Structure 1
Amino acid sequence: MNRVTELLGIQYPVFQGAMAQISRHQLVSAVSNAGGLGILASGGLTAEEVREEIRLTKALTDKPFAVNLMLMMDNVAEIVEVLIEEGVKVVTTGAGTPKPYMPRLKEAGVIVIPVIPSVKLAQKMQELGCDAVVAEGMEAGGHIGEMTSMPLTRQVVANVDIPVICAGGVADGHGLVAAYALGAEGVQMGTIFLAAKECPIPDSYKQAVLDAVDTSTVVTGRKFGAPVRCIRNDLTTKYLELESQDISRHELEKITMGALSKAVKEGDVKNGSLMAGQIAGLVKEIKPTKAIIEDLFAEAKQVLAGLSI
């Protein structure tokens, strides 16, 4: 047991990344039942849709789980009230500062864990009274920052006193051991859970992850400061071609409008946004969530036993 497992009442210090339109009750409950922390993604949902997802998750697990707040959304305050009403005790946050909501969340006894891309923001979150931080490197899938996981995690650990969870580039026991060596007390993983049996995405999306190699992902959106990592396909090729030209952000956004839904709901692997991290090249098998987590720690123990420095 470490500070993360003790704080959250979970068996393994493993967070399942809050993947938009993907991290729903099916996957979240499976991760929590397996001893990790399942995290519901609230991005794009109404407050009542979040409430429904919370209740569906509770029907499938009695273990701790979290809800992720995308702080850029207009209905964050309304969602915060739903979380409190429904008794959610762990919240992760992204895309902004949770400062406006901290008094209300702390009054309700909610554990708050922001996802951060820099030491400066990690320190600010500690000053706000947050309980831990997730240091996410740009190897991760979806919306990313500029720093890679190794220098980010190590420097965040060296500059804050609260627990640090390493995210981006972890999909096996070797990655887990590396994160611990950097001083992290847990890991957050998203890409590997795309290949979980319980993950509610089409088989075509899962197969795209299984087929990926180390160079299969690409980052779009850097031109206008909104980088997103996805598996390379017709959509990303078209986007990058136009992004290199004199084109407005509005015109580029038209190309990606509804692209995530195409991937997640329709299984369109050519024109959909297949968000995944660079570590996808290590994901080669669809497995139950429980097996993913247990295999991760079994391999980590083998890696540790074989180290000689």
Structure 2
Amino acid sequence: MIAHSKTSALMARGSEFLGSETAILCGAMSWVSERNLVSAISNAGGFGVIACGAMTPALLDAEIAATRALTDKPFGVNLITMHPQLFELIAVCGRHAVSHVVLAGGIPPKGSVEAIREHGAKVICFAPTLALGKKLLRSGADALVIEGMEAGGHIGPVSTSVLAQEILPSLAAEHLVFVAGGIGRGEAIAGYLEMGAAGVQLGTRFACASESIAHPAFKKAFFRASARDAIASVQVDPRLPVIPVRALRNKGTEEFTAKQIEVARRLDAGEVDMGEAQLAIEHFWAGALRRAVIDGDVESGSIMAGQSVGMVTSEEPVAQIIAALMAESEAALDHRAGARSIAA
């Protein structure tokens, strides 16, 4: 870390909070952020996070145990707030003494933050707005992640750069705020650290790491893609709400748009009621992410990826990715320090 002294100094608060060498979290990617990738990231000095997703408590129990067998470094677990067994999942994390729990997918239900903290774990929450960020901190969150629309998977409507300008000046001095969404190089990390971020979260950059179990076809789709290929899902009819998801354009994304048009037509014709129509839309992508990641179906599966996908051009070991990010950040900070010295 001596070679990255400036970056490490700016990351010090985040690194201390996470218990890792660097304040670089890996975003929880369903089917990708499992024991192999999570342990590799933690072993390389980052902070891995298991994506619980739709796992049952028994499956999460086994995944945490398997991850711990591969690393003695800290790692976290990402839980979806709307999971019907959320409190059972929290209890599983508690039994394993998981150090950090990330709550994603909405406002944490009553008692969930308290339940996590009762087990001695730190709570990290996603904050899409400044007002909600303040509320989450008042409610007991230990740290926040602000994630821009450039990210892969489920996204909000605001870009990372705007969120950072809105939230970091107000909260970063007294609270831990990690920035995510579209980060693919260390120069961007340096910029957000100088703005006050405690660290960063990256997902897309790690999805095709050597240690990732993602199917070779899934990885090749990333290598071929540019930023413009990672598109947000389109909502055709306001009566049929679609939660925006960023993924690589493929046959499946085109079919989803056509499906919405078809369902809206059937709704107008009285062939289906509103409930049936909405279910048809919701069920379209069922299992699609698994088909892409595990089975390699990159035509009809969901290839969730952020706009930084164009910076993922080959399979690299996690340790090499983290080392490159730190070196790029340090070079950027050195350059800025040199420019300030000359100006003075």
TM-score (norm 2): 0.86
2:58 aligns with 48
Q: Describe the superposition over 1:215-270 as per-residue Cα deviations: whole angstroms up to 9, x where unpaired.
A: 01111154514110000000011112343562633222332121111101210010
For residues 138 and 21 of structure 2, the distance between their equivalents in structure 1, rounded to whole angstroms, comes to 28
- How far is the alpha carbon of 1:129 from its aligned partner? 1.7
Aligned-partner SS, 1:67: strand
Deviation above 3 Å: which 4+ runs of structure 1? Answer: 241-245
Deviation at 1:46, TM superposition (A): 0.4
What's 2:281 paired with? 252
SS in 1 for 2:111: helix
Query: Would the alpha carbon gap of residues 203 and 305 (structure 1) be closer, same or farther in structure 2, given more than 3 Å must change?
Result: same
Residue of structure 2 in register with 1:83 after alignment: 93
Partner residue of 2:73?
A: 63
Residue 272 (structure 1) aligns with: 301
Deviation at 1:11, TM superposition (A): 0.5
How many residue pairs end up in the alignment?
Answer: 309
Q: Which has the larger radius of gyration?
A: 2
What residue is the counterpart of 1:112 in the other structure? 123
SS in 1 for 2:67: helix
Which of 189, 195, 216 is 2:202 aligned to? 189
Q: State the Cα distance separating 1:277 from its structure 2 match.
A: 0.2
Decide whether the 8 Å contact of 1:123 with 1:159 is kept in 2: no
CA distance in 1, matches of 2:134, 2:33: 28
Q: How much does 1:124 deviate?
A: 1.0
| Cα separation, 2, equivalents of 1:21 and 1:214 | 22
On the 8 A contact 2:208/2:214 being kept in 1, the answer is no
Distance in structure 2 (CA, Å) of the matches to 1:153 and 1:137:
9
Equivalent residue for 1:286?
315
Of residues 136-145 and 147-156 in structure 1, the stretch that sits farther from structure 2 once superposed is: 147-156
Where does residue 136 of structure 1 map in the other structure?
147
Give ranges in structure 2 of 5+ residues lacking alignment: 1-8, 266-276
Q: Percent of counterpart pairs with the same letter?
A: 36
TM-score scaled to structure 1, two decimals?
0.96
Alignment check: 8 A CA contact 1:150 1:182 kept: no
Root-mean-square deviation over aligned CA pairs: 1.5
Alignment gaps of 5+ in structure 1: none
Distance 1:290 1:229, change over 3 A: same
Q: For residues 26-74 of structure 1, give each alpha carbon's deviation from its aligned partner in whole angstroms, at most 9, with x where no partner exists.
A: 0000000011110001111000100101000100000000000101110
Q: CA deviation at 1:20?
A: 1.1
1:95 paired to 2:105 = yes
Amino acid at match of 1:120: A
